[in-house]
Chain A
Amino acid sequence: MNQPLKQALREKFEKMELDSGQIRSLQERIGADTPQKTRGFAPRILAVAAAVMISTLSAWLGWTWHDARTTGALLNAITAEVVENHLKQKPLDVESSSLPDVIGYFDRLDFQLLQSPRIASGTGDKLMGGRYCSVQGISAAQLRISNGDGTISTWYEAWLPPEQMGRIPDRLSGDSPAIRIARGIQVSIWKETGILFVEARPAVAAP
Chain B
Amino acid sequence: MLDEQLLNRLYRYCRALCREEADAYDLLQSGLERCLRHPPASQDKLFGYAIRIIRNIHRDNWRRDRIVEFEPLDDEQGATDLDVNTLESIVIDGDQLDHVWRKLTGLEREILFLWAVEGYTTGDIAAHIGKARGSILSTIHRMRKRISMDADDTAAGGRA
Which residue numbers of A lie inside 8 Å of B, CB to CB? 1-6, 8-13, 16-18, 22-23, 26-27, 29-30, 33-34, 37-42
Contacts of B25 in A (CB 8 A): 18, 22
Are B90 and A4 in contact (CB-based, < 8 A)? yes
- Complex CA gap A42/B41 in Å reads 6
State A23–B113 Cα separation when bound (angstroms). 21
Please tell me if the beta carbons of A18 and B93 are within 8 angstroms of each other in the complex. Answer: no
Contact B91 A11 (CB under 8 A): no
Total A-B residue contacts, Cβ distance less than 8 Å: 94
With beta carbons under 8 angstroms apart, the residue of A10, A30, A38, A40 that contacts B116 is A10
In the complex, which range does the number of interface residues on chain B fall in?
Answer: 35 or more
| Secondary structure dominating the interface of A | helix
**Which 8 residue pairs of A and B lie closest in terms of their CB atoms, listed nearest first?**
A9-B116, A5-B90, A6-B116, A33-B36, A37-B36, A13-B12, A40-B41, A2-B91
Instruction: Contact check, B15 vs A5: say whether CB atoms are below 8 A apart.
Output: no
Asked if residues A38 and B1 are in contact (CB atoms below 8 Å), the reply is yes
Q: B91 near A4 (CB under 8 angstroms)? A: yes
List, in ascending order, chain A residues with CB within 8 A of B98's CB.
Answer: 12
Decide if B12 touches A1 in the complex (CB within 8 Å). Answer: no
For the complex formed, measure the closest distance between the CB of A50 and the CB atoms of chain B, giving whole angstroms. 18
Task: Give residues in B with beta carbon < 8 Å to A.
Answer: 1-2, 4, 7-8, 11-12, 15-16, 25, 28-29, 32-33, 36-37, 39-43, 87-88, 90-94, 97-98, 101, 112-113, 115-117, 147
Closest to A9 in B: B116
- A contact residues around B4 at 8 Å (CB): 18, 23
Given contacts A26-B29, A27-B2, A41-B41, contact A9 B113 (CB under 8 A): yes
Classify the secondary structure of B's interface with A. helix
Given the interface contacts A8-B93, A12-B101, does A23 sit within 8 Å of B7 by beta carbon? yes
List residues of chain B with CB within 8 A of the CB of A40: 39-43
Residues of chain B within 8 A of A26, CB atoms compared: 2, 7, 28-29, 32
**Residues of A contacting B7 with CB < 8 Å?**
18, 23, 26-27
A3-B91, A5-B92, A27-B2 known; 13 new pairs, CB 8 Å cut-off, are A1-B93, A5-B147, A8-B92, A9-B112, A12-B98, A13-B12, A22-B25, A26-B7, A26-B32, A37-B39, A38-B1, A40-B39, A40-B43
Contact A5 B94 (CB under 8 A): no
| CA distance in complex: A27, B38 (Å) | 17
Q: Are B91 and A34 in contact (CB under 8 A)?
A: no
Residues of A within 8 A of B113 (CB): 9, 13
Please report the C-alpha to C-alpha distance between residue A30 and residue B35 in the assembled complex, in whole angstroms.
10
Looking at the complex, which one of B1, B2, B36, B97 makes contact with A8 (CB distance below 8 Å)? Answer: B97
Task: Give chain A residues whose Cβ lies under 8 Å from the Cβ of B1.
Answer: 30, 34, 38
B90 with A11: CB separation less than 8 A: no
Contact between chains at B15 and A16 (CB < 8 Å) = yes
Question: In the bound complex, what is the Cα–Cα distance between A170 and B113 (angstroms)?
Answer: 80
Q: Which residue of B lies closest to A22 (CB)?
A: B25
